[in-house]
């Protein structure tokens, strides 16, 4: 009887300890032609050109997604939500206050991997498939402002 109670205490203690243990983050993958099992998406990317006027976008696809807009005296830091489906990455930028009475408006983006031979060689040599470049469509929520298409490179 005493042995049975000891095992019950060990089992209960183990269960309590497992509840407090953080669960490791799982990477999100997108499917690309050379890697049907998927390629890890997580990381930060910088637009290779300005979106509007002097404004350059950088975004990080992490568990808690973030973005930055810099240029023309503007310094915005905001949050984003993102998801994947097949080869596509869908990103929603939340409106962000930039200080001095200015803000970056909410927007939606959809992105897709654009591979080239150089990034494929590097990925294969390292044994790790990597999304290096994305081609993105940026859809602002401001009425009358059209879509912008740009490429973004992993930083």
pLDDT in tens, 76-115: 999 999 999 888 999 999 999 998 899 999 999 999 988 6
146: helix, coil or strand? coil
Going by C-alpha positions, the residue among 76, 81, 143 that lies closest to residue 108 is: 81
Q: 18: exposed, middle or buried (C-beta count within 10 Å: 0-12, 13-18, 19+)?
A: exposed
Positive or negative, the Cα torsion across 5, 8, 10, 13?
Answer: negative
The confidence score (pLDDT) of residue 74 equals 93
The rounded distance, in Å, linking the Cα atoms of 108 and 140 is 7
- pTM for the complete prediction? 0.70
What is the domain partition of the chain in residue ranges? 27-154
* The architecture CATH gives domain 27-154: Beta Barrel (2.40)
Asked whether the predicted pLDDT for residue 116 surpasses 70, the reply is no
Does residue 76 sit in helix, strand or coil? strand
């Amino acid at each position: 009887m005493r042995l049975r109670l000891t095992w019950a205490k060990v089992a209960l203690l183990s269960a309590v300890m497992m509840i407090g243990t953080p669960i490791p983050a799982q990477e999100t993958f997108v499917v690309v032609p050379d890697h049907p099992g998927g390629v890890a998406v997580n990381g930060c990317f910088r637009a290779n050109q300005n979106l509007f006027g002097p404004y350059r976008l950088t975004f990080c696809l992490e568990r808690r997604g973030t973005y930055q807009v810099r240029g023309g005296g503007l310094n915005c830091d905001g949050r984003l939500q993102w998801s994947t489906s097949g080869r596509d990455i869908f990103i929603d930028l939340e409106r962000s206050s930039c200080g001095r009475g200015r803000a970056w408006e909410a927007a939606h983006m959809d992105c897709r991997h654009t591979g080239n031979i150089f990034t494929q060689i590097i990925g294969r040599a390292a044994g790790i498939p990597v999304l290096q470049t994305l081609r993105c469509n940026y859809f602002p929520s401001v009425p009358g402002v059209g879509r912008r298409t740009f490429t973004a490179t992993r930083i």
